[in-house]
Structure 1
Amino acid sequence: MTPWGWLLIAGSFEIAWAIGLKYTDGWTRPGPSLATLALLAASMYCLAVAARSLPIGTAYAVWTGIGAAGTALLGMLLLGEPRTPLRLASLGLILLGVAGLKLAR
């Protein structure tokens, strides 16, 4: 698998564990808490594999960008968070930044 593939998987796990935090209820629910920790570990592992070949600054920025944008989108779709034009435009800027980092490597 390519480093960018690992990074995409890492970002997907990043989204999953961030959403999982909502269901841990402050780490008081054992099942969701353990699942969230496992997703976090998987995300970090995939990021570390991607960072073997990619510059760490690029890998980390893309990873957090995927996580931030994906978590915000799922928050709007699944958790009823606001969908204001400014929020949507800001998410677009994050995605443009991630694409720019991919192209500028």
Structure 2
Amino acid sequence: MNTNADDCGARSPAGAKVAGTASLFKKESKMAWCLLFLAGLFECGWAIGLKYTDGFTRPMPTVLTVISMVISIVLLGLAVKTLPIGTAYAVWTGIGTVGTVLLGIWLLGDPVTVARLGCIALIIAGIVGLKLTV
């Protein structure tokens, strides 16, 4: 079994290694991580947006929140075409959690405590750890 990192298993119909496949997979992976990060940001947007919809009774915040939900899910769906689903989902929810807590502190006056900041740091460490294992 060939474990060469440059050989991603892509072969021509004749069995010859296809040139540049490792580079292509790296680019796809980077793009998937960018899409996942954006999906996480849109998750923050819709989570905070829920507060402004006032129970979905305010039309404009409701529309913007629903649009953010759809964009977030679509970007996540695109990212999992390349990334493992468990890792992608955990990172997506982690970004959403950290971002929503920080935006809640900044925009909504949510309390800031050492315990909350410590928990945010643990989530960030988990996100980084998952990224490094893929």
TM-score grouping bracket, smaller chain normalisation: over 0.9
How many Å apart are 1:30 and its aligned residue?
Answer: 1.1
Coordinate RMSD, CA, aligned: 0.8
Which has the larger share of helix? Answer: 1
Count how many residue pairs are aligned between Structure 1 and Structure 2: 105
Task: Provide the TM-score with structure 1 as the length reference.
Answer: 0.98
Alignment of 1:1-105 (within 5 A): 2-105=31-134
Bigger relative contact order (CA 8 A; separation at least 6): 1
CA deviations over 1:56-78 (Å, ceiling 9, x no partner): 00000000000000000010111
Q: Percent identity?
A: 54
Task: Provide the TM-score with structure 2 as the length reference.
Answer: 0.77
- Which consecutive unaligned segments of at least 5 residues does structure 1 have? none
**Runs of 4+ with >3 A deviation:** none
How many Å apart are 1:41 and its aligned residue?
Answer: 0.1
In 2, the alpha carbon distance for the partners of 1:32 and 1:55 equals 33
Which has the higher Rg, Structure 1 or Structure 2? 2
Please give the secondary structure, in 2, of the residue aligned with 1:54: coil
CA deviations over 1:22-81 (Å, ceiling 9, x no partner): 100011111111110000000000000000000000000000000000000010111100
Please give the secondary structure, in 1, of the residue aligned with 2:110: coil
